Amino acid sequence: MVEDVKREQQELLAQLSYLQSMYSQQYEAVQNDIASYTIANTALQKNIDLLQSAKALGGSDIMISGEGGAYMHAKLSGSDTVMTYVGAGYLVDMDSVSAVEFIRSNQKKSEQVLNRLMSDKKRLESELLDISFKLNALRAQQGVQ
């Protein structure tokens, strides 16, 4: 009888340890996703800020990155249109106002995902805390027996 109880406790301990490991991995993945979406939102906001000041920058000298550390001098024209990345490797010619609206809609979608990820993070934290309490209680109970 005592052996059956000990075996059940060992099985429960193993299951809880496994669950703790799985939730920890999910928690880490959610944290990485939150960091990625935060960086993406910052980049989207920088693009919006740039597009909103584009007219004022017309005729300015700038440096364009050629990747790998090479830069070239360029002069901005006063164009009212910009090439906007719309996904899947496609660029579309848009006026600045449409480009800002498009980027803002992407930013809004990204913020929705970020809010969902934050909610998932809180849920996982709660689950991990609950599992930790159960594991500690079970270990304490085994120590008493």
Instruction: Catalogue all structural domains in the chain, each as residue range(s) with its CATH number.
Output: 2-144 (1.10.287.370)
Q: What's residue 26's pLDDT?
A: 97
The residues, ordered by sequence, that sit 6+ positions from 141 with a Cβ below 8 Å of its Cβ are 9
Q: How far apart are CA 65 and CA 73, in angstroms?
A: 9
* pLDDT of the chain, 145 residues: tens digit per residue: 778 878 888 899 999 999 999 999 999 999 999 999 999 999 999 999 988 887 777 778 888 888 777 888 888 777 778 899 898 999 999 998 899 999 999 999 999 999 999 999 999 999 999 999 999 998 888 776 5
Q: What's residue 145's pLDDT?
A: 58
DSSP bridge pairs for 65? 71
Q: How far apart are CA 106 and CA 51, in angstroms?
A: 15
